[in-house]
Amino acid sequence: MIATATITPTSDFIAREDAWGAHSYHPLDLVIAEAKGAWVTDLEGHRYLDCLSAYSAVNQGHCHPRLLRVMIEQAARVTLTSRAFRNDQLGGFCEELAHYCGMEMVLPMNTGAEAVETAIKAARRWGYRTKGIADGEAQIIAFEHNFHGRTTTLVGFSSEPAYRAQFGPFAPGFVLVPFGDIEAVRRAMTGNTCAVLFEPIQCEAGVLMPPAGFVRELAALCAERNVLLMADEIQTGLGRTGARFACDHESVTPDVYILGKALSGGFYPVSAVVSRREVLGVFDPGSHGSTFGGNPLGCAVAREALRIVHDEQLVARSAREGTWLLAQLRTLEHPAIKAVRGRGLMCAIELHVPARPYCEALQQRGVLCKETHGTVIRLSPPLVVSREDLAWAMEQLRAVFAA
């Protein structure tokens, strides 16, 4: 008799996804069916501690009951009006987010990539209207190893070949310099430079940290040269690094915040560009838009997501638990470990060898994390994670790295 493979709910779902879905991701082979707080459950009933947090989108934890309640209540009233009409959630959202950021104006979008694209448009128009750059000549400085999204414009100034291969031609107007090199930024600046776009921590590149003082020096240089400093805090904002924003660690307020992910606690795609009136005031009716951007459902959820960050003291929790976790990670000893780094609950273990087998071994022990750039394990659990859960995760990490 020829043995046949056992078909399980998980294997059936994976087979259907692989057959019908485009293969733009390489996920771990489990199928999540439920989630609550810092834990998720697969179709077979196995529980896992989520140490990825949907790339920092669920800082508030999975299926937060307050977000669920607000979403249901708002969905029963009105979900979408488009910006052709006003809705009763948009004004409050803009006011509350502007206050949270210490800014004057908000332009809401949906995805992080849309927010970055919006910031680029704002910076260029500001450069032409305010700085006096000749039309079509504006340049933006970005950094090697950046990750700002997947649109053709954004991958066009990526230094990662896999993100760019056979997607060109790409838009001009971007200059890449080494991350953390203030002198390289200084040399790259010209009279046509309208902005510097940066991530305070390069999360997708492997949680790469800039040298101490770099963000502060960058802010000072941009102010000196009349260049906008645009901080992509999509993954690092709203408490992830143990501060309100990662820029806060060097007491820097950028000219532009670019936000997303945890802005809606994982319930709905909400992003935003937040800045001074001088910058976002360059948009006039018809110059930019989005059917879903600023919709009442997204705004209601985002307003509650911001309140949860405040009410549950998630910034302080991230600082406290992240400090403990990073100290524990640094006690791991294994020849495969090259470095441990991080800030708040954004941590990483860089290896000398491929990280995928270690992620799969951790999955077998109930800890979900994902490799990035081949050799880095990123560890970023929801900010609601308990010390007890983190201690348990460390036991699993020690077991995997003892093998």
10-61 pLDDT, tens digit per residue, is 999 999 999 999 999 999 999 999 999 999 999 999 999 999 999 999 999 9
* DSSP string for residues in 20-69: HS-------S--EEEEEBTEEEETTS-EEEESSHHHHTTTT-BT-HHHHH
Question: What percentage of the chain has pLDDT greater than the value 70?
Answer: 98
* H or E element that contains 350: strand 346-351
Question: Which pLDDT band, with edges at 50, 70 and 90, does 5 fall under?
Answer: low
Same domain, yes or no, for 79 and 104? yes
The string of pLDDT tens digits covering residues 55-92 is: 999 999 999 999 999 999 999 999 999 999 999 999 99
Instruction: Show the tokens assigned to 125.
Output: 């128009």
**Predicted pLDDT at 3:** 46
Same domain, yes or no, for 154 and 277? yes
**Predicted pLDDT at 328:** 98
**Predicted pLDDT at 399:** 97
Same domain, yes or no, for 27 and 107? no
Residue with tokens 């009409």: 85
| Final residue belonging to a domain, choices 259, 282, 311 | 311
pLDDT at 254 over 60: yes
Nearest to 160 by CA among 173, 179, 185: 179
* H or E element that contains 177: strand 174-177
Q: How far apart are CA 202 and CA 179, in angstroms?
A: 9
Nearest to 65 by CA among 263, 267, 260, 237: 267
Alpha-carbon distances, residue 99 vs 65, 87, 149, 192, 393 (angstroms): 25, 20, 26, 31, 36
**Predicted pLDDT at 9:** 86
The answer to whether position 154 is within a domain reads yes
What average pLDDT is seen over the chain? 96
The string of pLDDT tens digits covering residues 297-313 is: 999 999 999 999 999 99
Same domain, yes or no, for 83 and 175? yes
The backbone region for 182, taken as left when phi is positive above 0, alpha when psi lies in -120 to 50, beta otherwise, is alpha
Same domain, yes or no, for 186 and 220? yes
Helix 314-329 × helix 296-311 angle, to 10° = 70
Domain containing 163 — which CATH number?
3.40.640.10
Strand partners, 348: 341, 378
The answer to whether position 83 is within a domain reads yes
The mean pLDDT value for 269-296 works out to: 97
pLDDT at 179 over 60: yes
The string of pLDDT tens digits covering residues 185-235 is: 999 999 999 999 999 999 999 999 999 999 999 999 999 999 999 999 999
The answer to whether position 1 is within a domain reads no
Same domain, yes or no, for 110 and 144? yes
Domain containing 362 — which CATH number?
3.90.1150.10
The backbone region for 196, taken as left when phi is positive above 0, alpha when psi lies in -120 to 50, beta otherwise, is beta
Same domain, yes or no, for 116 and 138? yes
Same domain, yes or no, for 355 and 398? yes
pLDDT at 2 over 60: no
pLDDT at 243 over 50: yes
Active-site positions? Answer: 147, 232, 261
Strand partners, 177: 143
Question: Which pLDDT band, with edges at 50, 70 and 90, does 6 fall under?
Answer: low
The string of pLDDT tens digits covering residues 324-380 is: 999 999 999 999 999 999 999 999 999 999 999 999 999 999 999 999 999 999 999
Please count the other Cβ atoms lying within 10 Å of the Cβ belonging to residue 144.
18
**Predicted pLDDT at 1:** 41
Same domain, yes or no, for 341 and 274? no
Q: How far apart are CA 244 and CA 193, in angstroms?
A: 28
pLDDT at 387 over 80: yes
Same domain, yes or no, for 107 and 159? yes
Domain that holds residue 19: 9-60+315-402
CB neighbour burial string for 37-69, b if at least 16 within 10 angstroms, e if fewer? bbbbebbeeeebbbbbbbbbbbbbbbbbebbee
pLDDT at 119 over 60: yes
Same domain, yes or no, for 144 and 244? yes
Residue with tokens 């009105």: 78
